[in-house]
Structures are given as structure tokens and as C-alpha cells.
Amino acid sequence: MRRVIEGSQAVAEAVRLARVQVISAYPITPQTHIVEILSEYCEKGTLPARFLRMESEHSCLAALIGAQMMGVRTFTATSSQGLAYMHELLHWTAGARLPIVMAEVNRALAPGWNIWTDQGDSLSQRDTGWLQLYCEDAQEVLDSTLIAFRLAETVSLPVMVVLDAFYLSHTYEPVDVPAVEAVDRFLAPYAPRFRMDQTVACSFGSLVTPNDYMEMRHDMALAMEDALDELGRIEAAFAGVFGRNHGAIEAIHCQDAEIVLVTSGTITSTARLVVKALRERGERVGLLKIRLFRPFPGAQLREALKTAKKIAVIDRNCSFGAGGIFAQELKAALCNLDPCPLVYGYIAGIGGRDVTPGTIEDIYRRTQETDRPSDDGLWIGLREEAPHGR
Amino acid sequence: MQQHTGETAMNGTEMRNKLLIPRSCITTEGNKTGSWRFLRPRYEDKTAPCAAGCPAGEDIPRIEMLTSRGLFKEAWETILRENPFPAVCGRVCFHPCEALCNRGEYDAAVAVHTLERFLADTAARCDFRSPMEPVRTREERIAVVGAGPAGLAAARFLTLLGHRSDVFEAAPEAGGVLRWGIPAYRLPGEALRQDIRRLEREGVQIFTGRRIDRAFLTDAAGTYAAVVVACGHGRGQAMAIPGETETGIVEGLDFLRGIREGKGDPCDGLTAVIGGGNTAVDAARSIVRLGGKAVILYRRRRQDMPAFQDEVRMAQEERVIIEELVAPAAALRDGEEIVLTLRRMIVSGEEHDGRGRVVPDGEKSKDLRVRRIVRAIGAGPEAAWMSPETDAAGILTLGHCRLAFPERQPAVAFVGDLITGTKSVAHAIASGKEAAIALDAFFNEGREAILPRLRDCTVGDGTALSLEILLGGERRLRSPHVVGYAEINTDHFRFAPRLTQPRLLIEERIRGFSEIDLKISAGLAMKEAERCFNCGLCNGCDNCRLYCPDVAVIREGEARRIAYDYCKGCGLCVVECPRDAMFLEEEGR
């Protein structure tokens, strides 16, 4: 059924449809609406799940680790400082191979306190072993959440569904909310590959010597690799039931583009309009949206970008001292191409600052007019007249 | 430690990802994580502020803990260990404990006073027998002069310490001011007799109708090793005004005694009561009950009155008029009436105790026509020998009593109102108890032992003494640290309204001398006792065990112990102890 709902509600509807059994949460803006709706669903029985209100995000994830080990499907949602507080247990979740799904609403980190969108929180957790999907609109939020459960449970790794604060979490959009029967056809009940047996006393995650640890980690690396192919298969199955999919990446007009803009999250929607307008004016510009950040879809990106001359990556984040993170990752993925396109990094929209069509066109023009990209990216849209960069 | 690497591979898929899950099926008990600890939690009961502030040193947190569980006999016995007057104190003690109650900072103080009365009522109803048996272990006999609360307390504690004590009372019945000075609506005779009968069963011998004179202090030598002088303040102070001896001017204590002796003549018309203490208020309220009107004339302000505030408030409810800032200047009989001339006073600065200092307001005065005057401006000892010397050689002044050691004569202890600053039954009991402990130390080990012995059995950091601590009971193990409100973990409590003392209606009160405060039910008592934080006293709430993340608190029956082999010293148990009955110390190296 098509409904006009917030991105937050899109998450909550997906969690309901996925028949999640245990939810834990600690409220934090802008994640709050997600867990408010879910707590109501749990209270009313709309979703027969156990809702745990915890005293911290650290405990939220700890509780889910325990629950998931008992063989149930679990979910949590957080943002910014909350995610940072979970950090230790993010590693634990992945290392314990628990397919927990989390909605992560991108919000800037303090100080100064800023509740607006910024990818710094989720991207600083990129090495924890969680899969990460960055969503462009509310429909993608709902679909990605459903896909996340199946993907996580297939590869035995946790998945983070990432959505922009306010632009997605608090914006109402028309969303196709599928019937539960349809979702049941796509997503089978959770069949744990292992679980705690209360009749056999034992401890999990105990000491592992150098003799075994490396193999455990290698298995995780292999599972991440598998996730790339699995996402394709799962999205095909999704399309079979719902008639749509989103892909790890989406390439628009990239075949004949000289300059390709690379985006993630809601900036993509704005970029679509800019690219359309530029194309109408005869510019050879393309757009590449990265939805799957972990595992990083290197092969697909190399294929899509092999003919581009210049690539302009728009990062709503900054790894201080190394520039935008999507740009870094992309450079690493492309560096062995021959010829290798030039990668221009741009940092924009930090802490929720608007990224307008004008901003994106400015980035396109700068890329067009500059022969060599700067090393660590160019900050676009600072209050001063001149852009700062190195 | 043995290591299992369990593996449950998923079969039949083309996926390469295996699932290596480290899993250990052997016990982790071999891993003695207690060695990581650098802070050590310990159980340690501490001192509750109410107990430290109770002049009688009652173990209030324990009394309330037992009451909340319905263990009324045990609770009553816990009172008896420190205070032989639960029926009296449950009625007339001004309960300084409640002013110090930590719960007062949270919502409202626990109604300790009402609960004490409940326990005494329960003991009377069930005819509980005192667990204290008289055991004569000492040869010394002690004479006690005066069977008021201080004398009886001294005799009783001396008896418990193994001495024989004989109490001599001039009046035909024991009780002193409790019997003759406090109106029956506050303390019915039967309540007092309940406590006195039990004291006698505990071995205290009381000889009534035996007036003692000064010669006794020397004559007693040979029979008695010590004399406890507990005669109280029986003589009223004079106003020193012209007309003081007019007929119709009576002394407050005499007036009250007359009523208790059954001579409560009707008091028609207006009676002036001079003074601001409890005797004045008692007299005024009694006048109302005898059909008259009463006006209390006090030279300072209403808030400066030394009478218990609750009594003053109830007096006003009963339409006693309080006129402040007036002092009597002259009295003149005029037929049926007395013309009382009053000098107007004004406040001029403050006394050391915070009361207003007053001076005459120039020549301003007024006349008041009254039928009679009750004078209650203070009292002193009846005879000079009852007043101890202050700092002569051989005099030892303690917190609540004074001792004299005349040569070749029995030691003398002056107790009760003769000594104490605050004239209250609780202070009288404190005085008697201190004298008993001091004399016992003196007989056993000599004069030098007195001060160390008293220090040893002090409750917390206060001045109250505990017989249980003296006798090596469980209270001895408690730390003297007095638990403050900040040390209570109030997260573990809920707001709960304080019990309201049920009382006779005002209309019923003023009709006679029936006791005003009514009994409460066991259910109400338990509910009120549950409000007690039990400051510093483990009540077995089990929070330490439930919050321990290492399952290192082991319950053994009602007791708990910490398994230090596994306790990492996180301190959660200490933080989550609602009542500060634990503490965290640095681990010894």
C-alpha cells in the first residue's frame, strides 16, 4: 500500500514486516521517531516483540548480542554519539558473527552539539565488520531494511542501514509499504546457524589463540566478499516479489561521461536534477551513486567508471588529514586502472549545511576547469568567499 | 584454560564463509578474577542519624526494620535494650530523631514516635514479657532518690549491669513528673504504669512514700555504695512581682499535680498562665478541659516558646489564647478577680540560643482581669542539697549527669532535670543511663575508667550511649559514621506519604482528659515502618547480590558474603546499596 510517511516510519514498518523479535533502544535525536513508533507497535501488539529500554547504547547492543545468540531476530537504531558509544560492541557483534540489523541516522558528532546530517558517525565505524547501506529516499530505507535482515542472516554479519538526519528521517514521502504476506515470501523466519543452548553451560567468545584467531578473521573477510554477490542475489529475489531493486551502486549516464559525480545518501537526489539539467545543455556528465559502502563494491565501480576522465566525489564527511572518505575509498579502488581517471574530492554539507543544485554545479564546474585534483579534497560552501583547500 | 573452537558450518551452499565460534564448555571458576581488584567492597553497618540523635540511643533503624516485617515483639525488645519507657516515650518524647531523619529530605520523616507508641500498645495488648532478667553479679547496692524517669532509668540500667538498686520515692506512686506533671490526655496513668510494672519485674525495687533528706547522703554509707539523686525540679520559680502571694495565684506544677490527684476543680472564667514552657501549655490546656478559658502570657515571641511546637499548636486549636511580648508587673485581688498588670515588651536583638531578647517597651502596660493565675515560668530543685556543686574537686561533670566522690561516703550521681539542659523524658533517660554506666565503670575499675567506658559505648558521633554496645552486642560492630542523606541511594525508594497520627477531634479533646493520640493498626504501622531508609543498616534487600555483574555476592541463609576470588571490585554493590551499609576501600598491597 502506498502511504505518505517519514523515513523513520519507513524503518519502523520494515522492522514490523520483518517480524523482529527483540528491539533495544536508547533515544537520541534524530533516531527517536523510529523507536517511538516501534515501542508503540510493541505496546499495542502490532509487533509481538520484546522492546528493551536500556540505559545506554552500549547496553542496547550488548542486550541484542545476548538476544541474537539465543536465536532471535533483533534490531536497534541509533545516531551519532550513540553509535560512537556502541563502538566496542560493534566489533563484538561482527566478530561473534551475529546478523543484527541497525538503522543509523547520520548525524554530526559533538562538539559543538549538532543534530543535523553528516556521515562522520557511521563512516568512522567502517572497520568494525558491519555492512553499510546508504539510502537515498524513504522507499530505499524501507527496502534496504528488509534486505538487510536477509543479507545479514545469509553472511552472518551485522548490517547498518544508514539514512540522513531529517532529509530522510523526518521527511514525509510516498512509500510503498508492502503487505506482510509479500514480505514473508521474501524474508523467511530467522534460522540461526548457531545458538546458545541453555541446557549446555558454556561461554561464547572466549579466549582464542593465534592458532585460530587469524582464521576467524579471514572468515569474516570472506563473508564480506560474499556479501557483494549475495546482495545481488537477494536484490534479484526482492525484485521478484516487489518489482524493484536498488543495487550496490547506480550508474547514470556514465558510459559516455567525461566527468562523473559520485554521491551517496540524499545528495544523490539533488545531483540527479543537476546532471539532468547539464545533460540537456549538452554536458557529458554522469552520476554514480554508491549505496553499498561495506563491502566496498570496487569491481562494480571500476567497471562503471573505466571510461570517465574525471571523477568528482562529494563527501558529507571528512577524515581529518585525509579528506573525504568516499573519495579515499574510490581512489583506492581505481588506482590500478590504466588509464586511471582523476579523482577530485569535495567536502560539502558538513553538519547539515545545505547542498543545493548550485553547490553541485559549482563542483562540476571546478572539476571541469581544474587540471589536477587537490590531495585532500576541497571544502565547498564555506561561509568565506574563497573555498579552502590545499 | 581449555579452548573449544566449535564450528557449525552451513552445508549445501556455495558460500565460502565458515563460522568459527569460540566456545568454552569448561567452568570459568578457575579464572580467579578477584586478582584484578584494587578496590574491595565490604559490608559495614553504620550509624543512622536518628539513632545518634536519640538521647536514649535507641536503635531506630533496626526497630523500624523489624516493625516493617511484623516482628513487633523483637522491635519492642530492641527499644527495651536502650530505653525502659516505650509506652511513655511513644507518647511524650518530643522525638528529636524525626528532625534528623534522612527521609525528611526526601519526602517526610518517618513517624518514629507513632511507631514506638504502637509497639508499646502491642506489647501491652499481647502482654509481652521483658527479655531482661535481673542478674545480681555485683555486691554494690545503689540507692536512687526519686522515681522519675531519670531515677528509674538509672536504677534499671544498674540492675541490668548486675547491681542492686533501691528507688526511694516521696510520692505515693512512682513516675515523678510523668505521673504528676504531665496531663493524662498526653500520658494516661495506665501507660506509665505499664512501663513501671515491667521495670519492677526486671528487678528494680521501688519504695514509695519514702522522703529522703540530706542526711541520707552520709547515712547511706555502709549500706549503699552510691546514691543517685534524681529529685527533679519540684519547686516553681517566683515572678517577683507585687501581689505574688494573692490567693488565686497557683504554681503550674502544683496545679497539674492537683488534677492528677483527682482534684480537678472546675475553672470557670479566664485564667492567665504565665510562661512559655511545657508546664504552661499543659496547664492552659487543662484549664480548657476544666471548662475555663486560658490565656498564655509570654514575655518573648510565640516562636521563642520553649514548649514543644506540636503542643503549642494543639493548644491554639483548643482555643488557648497566646499573648506574646507581655511580662507580669503586678497582681491585685479585686473581689472575685485578680487585676494583672502586664508590661509590654519589645524584641531587642537575639539571645545566644536564637530566641529573641526582650526589653520593656518603655512604660507601656495594660491590665487584664482574670479569675486566677497559673505561674509556670520555670522550676528548680526543692532543696539545696539536690543541686550538685559544679567544679569542686572530686566532681566529674559528664554529658548528661554529674558525679561526686566525697571521701568516706558513697559516690553521688546527680541526674535528670537537676543536670540536663533540655528537660525532657528522653534526656532524663540518657542521664540515668549515663550515671548507671559511669557508676558501673567506677565500681569495676575505678574513676579513671569512667570516661573511656562512656566513649566506648557512644552511638555514632553523638552524645547518646548504648547499653547494647557496652555489653558487646551486634551494634558494637557498626561504624560510628553517621549516614547522611547524600549517602542514601534514593533511586531505590518511592515517595510515600507519612502516616498521619489519628487523634480525637478537638470537640472530643476539650471535653475531658482522654488521651488525644489514638492507636494505629498493625497494617498502618508496618507500612509506615517500610518508609524507613534503615540508614546504614543492612536489611537484606539483596541489591548487592542482584547488581553484582560477577555473581560474586553469595547468599547464605539471611546473610551475604562477597566471594573475593571473583569480585573485581567494580563497586556496583556499594553504589546500589540503598542505605550505605557497604563501603569500598583500597585493596591492601
Q: Break chain B into its structural domains and give their ranges.
A: 58-130+489-526, 141-234+381-456, 264-376
Please confirm whether the linkage preceding A112 is cis (ω < 30° from 0). Answer: yes
Please name the member of A155, A204, A225 whose beta carbon is closest to the beta carbon of B21: A204
Q: What is the largest CA-CA distance in chain B?
A: 123
> Cell numbers at residue B364, please?
507601656
Contact A222 B25 (CB under 8 A): no
Contact B22 A206 (CB under 8 A): yes
pTM of the model: 0.76
% of chain B exceeding 70 in pLDDT: 97
DSSP classification of residue B559 = E
Q: Is the pLDDT of residue B550 over 50?
A: yes
- Considering only CB atoms, which chain A residues are within 8 Å of B24? 202-203, 206-207
Would an 8 Å CB–CB cutoff place A198 in contact with chain B?
A: no
- Considering only CB atoms, which chain B residues are within 8 Å of A225? 16
Please name the member of A193, A225, A230 whose beta carbon is closest to the beta carbon of B19: A193
Q: How many other CB atoms are found less than 10 A from the CB of residue A4?
A: 10
The whole-angstrom distance between B27's CA and the closest CA on chain A is 8
From CA A15, how far away is CA A64, in angstroms rounded? 15
Cα Rg of chain B, angstroms: 30
- Considering only CB atoms, which chain B residues are within 8 Å of A204? 21-23
Question: Which of A157, A206, A211, A229 to mutate to probe the B interface, most B CBs <10 Å?
Answer: A206
Mean pLDDT calculated for residue range B149-167: 95
Contact A202 B1 (CB under 8 A): no
Q: What is the largest CA-CA distance in chain A?
A: 70
Would an 8 Å CB–CB cutoff place A214 in contact with chain B?
A: no
From CA B510, how far away is CA B506, in angstroms rounded? 6
Q: Is the pLDDT of residue B298 over 50?
A: yes
More confident residue, A28 or B25: A28
Residue A377 · residue A324 · CB < 8 Å:
yes
Over the stretch B522-532, which tens digit does the pLDDT of each residue have? Answer: 999 999 999 99
Q: Identify the pLDDT of residue B363.
A: 87
Q: How far is CA B450 from the centre of its chain?
A: 23
- Considering only CB atoms, which chain A residues are within 8 Å of B5? 208, 212
From CA B83, how far away is CA B85, in angstroms rounded? 5
Q: Identify the pLDDT of residue B8.
A: 40
Mean pLDDT calculated for residue range B40-59: 96
Classified as helix, coil or strand, B256 is: helix
Amino acid identity of A352? G
Are B141-234+381-456 and B264-376 the same fold in CATH? yes
The whole-angstrom distance between B563's CA and the closest CA on chain A is 21
- Please count the residue pairs, one from chain A and one from chain B, whose beta carbons lie less than 8 angstroms apart: 63
Q: Identify the pLDDT of residue B354.
A: 81
> Strands B337-350 and B326-334: what pairing?
antiparallel
Q: Identify the pLDDT of residue B485.
A: 98
Q: Identify the pLDDT of residue B2.
A: 34
pLDDT band, very low/low/confident/very high, at B577 (cuts 50, 70, 90): very high
Q: Is the pLDDT of residue B114 over 50?
A: yes
- Considering only CB atoms, which chain A residues are within 8 Å of B4? 202, 206
* Domains by residue range for chain A, with CATH: 2-242 (3.40.50.970), 249-379 (3.40.50.920)
Over the stretch B481-530, which tens digit does the pLDDT of each residue have? Answer: 999 999 999 999 999 999 999 999 999 999 999 999 999 999 999 999 99
- Considering only CB atoms, which chain A residues are within 8 Å of B6? 194
DSSP classification of residue B380 = E
Classified as helix, coil or strand, B80 is: helix
Contact A203 B17 (CB under 8 A): no
From CA B276, how far away is CA B322, in angstroms rounded? 9
The contacts of residue A167 (CB under 8 Å, 6+ apart) are: A117, A265, A266
Chain B: residue whose CA lies nearest to A223: B17
Contact B19 A155 (CB under 8 A): no
Sheet holding B141-145, edge to edge: B205-207, B164-168, B141-145, B226-229, B411-414, B402-404, B395-397
Mean pLDDT calculated for residue range B105-130: 96
Would an 8 Å CB–CB cutoff place A207 in contact with chain B?
A: yes
Q: Identify the pLDDT of residue B349.
A: 86
From CA B238, how far away is CA B244, in angstroms rounded? 8
Q: Identify the pLDDT of residue B583.
A: 94
Please name the member of A97, A200, A206 whose beta carbon is closest to the beta carbon of B19: A97
Q: How many other CB atoms are found less than 10 A from the CB of residue A70?
A: 14
Nearest to A297 by CA among A207, A381, A228, A223: A228
Question: Which of A58, A131, A203 to mutate to probe the B interface, most B CBs <10 Å?
Answer: A203
The contacts of residue A289 (CB under 8 Å, 6+ apart) are: A136, A249, A250, A252, A262, A263, A264, A268, A271
Q: Identify the pLDDT of residue B6.
A: 43
- Considering only CB atoms, which chain A residues are within 8 Å of B551? none
Contact A216 B25 (CB under 8 A): no
Contact B1 A203 (CB under 8 A): no
Q: Identify the pLDDT of residue A388.
A: 56
> Strands B337-350 and B379-380: what pairing?
unpaired
Q: Identify the pLDDT of residue B10.
A: 37
Contact B22 A222 (CB under 8 A): no
DSSP B213-226: -TTHHHHTTTT-SE
- Considering only CB atoms, which chain B residues are within 8 Å of A197? none
Query: Between the CA atoms of B270, B275, B278 and B284, what dihedral angle is there, to the nearest 10 degrees?
Result: 0
Chain A: residue whose CA lies nearest to B26: A202
Would an 8 Å CB–CB cutoff place A222 in contact with chain B?
A: yes
- Considering only CB atoms, which chain B residues are within 8 Å of A200? 25
% of chain B exceeding 90 in pLDDT: 75
CATH class of the domain comprising B141-234+381-456: alpha beta
> Cell numbers at residue A244, please?
524493484
Contact B16 A222 (CB under 8 A): yes
More confident residue, B139 or B229: B229
> 10-residue block means of pLDDT along chain A (390 residues)?
97 98 97 98 97 96 97 98 98 97 98 97 98 98 98 97 98 98 97 88 87 93 96 97 96 96 98 98 97 98 96 97 97 95 97 97 97 92 68
Cα Rg of chain A, angstroms: 21
- Considering only CB atoms, which chain B residues are within 8 Å of A222? 16-18
For B303, counting Cβ atoms within 10 Å of its Cβ (0-12 exposed, 13-18 middle, 19+ buried), the class is: exposed
From CA B280, how far away is CA B580, in angstroms rounded? 43
Chain A: residue whose CA lies nearest to B25: A202
Residue B450 · residue B71 · CB < 8 Å:
no
pLDDT band, very low/low/confident/very high, at B16 (cuts 50, 70, 90): low
Q: Is the pLDDT of residue B5 over 60?
A: no
Q: Identify the pLDDT of residue B4.
A: 38
pLDDT band, very low/low/confident/very high, at B403 (cuts 50, 70, 90): very high
Residue B441 · residue B401 · CB < 8 Å:
no
Fold topology of B264-376: FAD/NAD(P)-binding domain (3.50.50)
- Considering only CB atoms, which chain A residues are within 8 Å of B12? none
Contact B22 A207 (CB under 8 A): yes
SS (H, E, C) chain A: CEEEEEHHHHHHHHHHHCCCCEEEECCCCCCHHHHHHHHHHHHHCCCCCEEEECCCHHHHHHHHHHHHHCCCCEEEEEEHHHHHHHHHHHHHHHHCCCCCEEEEEECCCCCCCCCCCCCHHHHCCCCCCCEEEECCCHHHHHHHHHHHHHHHHHHCCCEEEEEECCCCCCCEEEEECCCHHHHHHHCCCCCCCCCCCCCCCCEECCCCCHHHHHHHHHHHHHHHHHHHHHHHHHHHHHHHHHCCCCCCEEEECCCCCCEEEEECCCHHHHHHHHHHHHHHCCCCEEEEEECEEECCCHHHHHHHHCCCCEEEEEECCCECCCECHHHHHHHHHHCCCCCCCEEEEEECCHHHCCCCHHHHHHHHHHHHHCCCCCCCCEECCCCCCCCECC
Instruction: Please state whether B42 falls in left (phi above 0), alpha (psi between -120 and 50) or beta.
Output: beta
What average pLDDT does chain B have? 91
- Considering only CB atoms, which chain B residues are within 8 Å of A97? 19, 21
From CA B187, how far away is CA B346, in angstroms rounded? 36
DSSP classification of residue B330 = E
